[in-house]
Amino acid sequence: MKEFIINDNEAGQRFDKYLAKLLREAPKSFFYKMMRKKNITLNGKKATGNEKLISGDHVKLFLSDETFEKFSGSIPAPRAKHSLDIIYEDENILLINKPAGMLSQPADDGTPSLVEYLTGYLLDSGSLTEDDLRTFRPSVCNRLDRNTSGLIAAGKSLAGLQELSDMFKSRNLHKYYLCLVEGVLKQEKHIRGHLTKDKKSNKVTIHKEEREGALPIETRYFPLGDNGKRTLLKVELITGRAHQIRAHLASEGHPIIGDPKYGKTAGRVKSQLLHSFRMEFPAVKGTLSYLTGKAFTAPVPEIFLEVLKKEQLEESYYENLE
């Protein structure tokens, strides 16, 4: 017999969803049959699977060790070591300042990503245990291009992960970027277009008019300062498509400095000077209600700041950090 006590990371989900994670190798018919026969119980009673779990619930599996091991499988716990620049952390979420060059999510080739580094960090800090990974996986809720730096939000608890994900899907959480672009821009502007992606080249194209297969995009930018040749922009990402800011600004004739795909590299700058620097939380209900109205900022990388100093735009940057 195996017994499990539901913790905060597992609470809030249906019992059958929990069992599907705990017995990941078992067909669904197996644990429904076990519930009917009371070989799997919830708080000592027969269950149907649609019960919503709460912290402290007791789950008992009257299964042999061999059967449990067969259906639970090994605990795939991808993790890796990397120092993380954590801007904010509580029991439900983390906000991490991702460096340029780090993947946001796992790649097919096995290259470590922020997800693996996050898992390693939570295991090392004691926020997660190996057993927790049977039924809950921490994850990031937004992604940045590999060579784009800045704020990424991650769920540390199930409630945190679910509520953060909902905010990103509904576009209620406001995301602002800083970038240095070619040309002089003086007025804020709300630009719209349609985006298509070529998966083979991993490159997108922006179209002014609607067309079949194209996704609508919206971007708003605010000039913070210029030196007569280049402009520091604050950009609000309204829709969040692949390469949206990079391609959308390039299509307007203002490619981001250092962008090898939609512009060109510039001296020591080999990747785009694009940084997700601010997140503003809306009115939030539920577990994350304490984040209502809060805003968090992440400083730009050293190379970005060096270029701003060289371009005499450092003051414009510091004036807009808060």
Please give the positions annotated as active site: 145
Do β-strands 215-226 and 274-280 pair in parallel, antiparallel, or remain unpaired? unpaired
How wide is the angle at C-alpha 73 spanned by C-alphas 119 and 65, nearest 5°?
A: 125
Q: Secondary structure of the chain in the HEC alphabet?
A: CEEEECCCCCCCCEHHHHHHHHCCCCCHHHHHHHHHCCCEEECCEECCCCCECCCCCEEEECCCHHHHHHHHCCCCCCCCCCCCCEEEECCCEEEEEECCCCECCCCCCCCCEHHHHHHHHHHHHCCCCCHHHHCCCCEECCCCCCCCEEEEEEECCHHHHHHHHHHHHHCCCEEEEEEEEECCCCCCEEEEEEEEEECCCCEEEEECCCCCCCEEEEEEEEEEEECCCEEEEEEEECCCCCCHHHHHHHHCCCCECCCCCCCCCECCECCCCEEEEEEECCCCCHHHHHHCCCEEECCCCHHHHHHHHHCCCHHHHHHCCC
Instruction: Return d(Cα 140, Cα 105) in angstroms, integer.
Output: 8
Classify residue 80 by burial, with Cβ atoms within 10 Å: 0-12, 13-18, 19+: middle
Q: How many CB atoms lie within 10 A of CB 267?
A: 9
